[in-house]
Amino acid sequence: MINYPNNHQNDQPGLTALGQAMPDVLKTPVLTQVETLVVDDADAREGASSETAKAGKLSMIEQGITFTGNAALQGTCTIAGQIVGNLKEQAGATSQIVITETGSVKGDIFSHKVSVMGTCSGTIDASGGSVDLHAKSVVNGHIRYGQLQVNGADLNATLERVAKVSA
């Protein structure tokens, strides 16, 4: 999600209400994480209260944004824009990366769970985790996975199954 500094008049980042001052376009937008509540499926079936809900992180690169650089992630990252660089799960954290139909990543991805609906070129490393490649996705490179699901993707990659490490 992108927030323009000093643009507090509107609930949607990057948008300005009619009659309000336009944001300074020369300032660099700030990428922020949004707090979300995540309720475990088992807790949801048992009717868990909000006290048992866990705070999660949600990061977004929206359509029309190109991000160049490396990022350390925790929680869920949805990519609808373009990323040129590497995405890596933070130490001790679990992350899930979702590349939407309009999203593109040129670089390496290291995450517990990766779901591709757009374009990805590089290494996808979900060792012990899962990779889902959807119908219109285009994937080139190398994939390390614990579980792999391919649903008609345009796949040109070497595949390497990595078994989960038992504790």
Enumerate the β-bridge partners of residue 130.
113, 147
* 72 assigned to some structural domain: yes
Residues 15 and 47 occupy one common structural domain = no
The rounded percent of the chain whose pLDDT value lies above 90 is 52
Q: Which domain holds residue 27?
A: 1-32
pTM of the predicted protein model: 0.68
Would you say residue 22 has pLDDT above 80? Answer: no
**Residue 35: how many CB atoms within 10 A of its CB?**
9
Residues 11 and 43 occupy one common structural domain = no
* 166 assigned to some structural domain: no
Helix (H, G, I), strand (E, B) or coil at 50: helix
* 167 assigned to some structural domain: no
Range among 19-23, 37-41, 74-78, 110-114 rated most confident:
110-114
Q: Tell me, what's the pLDDT at 4?
A: 46
* 99 assigned to some structural domain: yes
Residues 72 and 26 occupy one common structural domain = no
Residues 148 and 105 occupy one common structural domain = yes
3-state helix, strand, coil split of the chain in percent (to 5) is 5, 50, 45
Answer whether 35's CB lies under 8 Å from 54's CB: no
Q: Tell me, what's the pLDDT at 74?
A: 87
Beta-sheet pairing, 2-3 with 30-31: antiparallel
Q: How far apart are CA 85 and CA 65, in angstroms?
A: 14
Q: Tell me, what's the pLDDT at 141?
A: 97
Within the chain, residue ranges assigned H as helices are 41-45
Band of residue 27 on the pLDDT scale cut at 50, 70, 90:
low
Alpha-carbon radius of gyration of the chain: 18
Q: How far apart are CA 50 and CA 38, in angstroms?
A: 10
**Residue 33: how many CB atoms within 10 A of its CB?**
15
Residues 58 and 71 occupy one common structural domain = yes
Would you say residue 53 has pLDDT above 70? Answer: no
Residues 3 and 25 occupy one common structural domain = yes
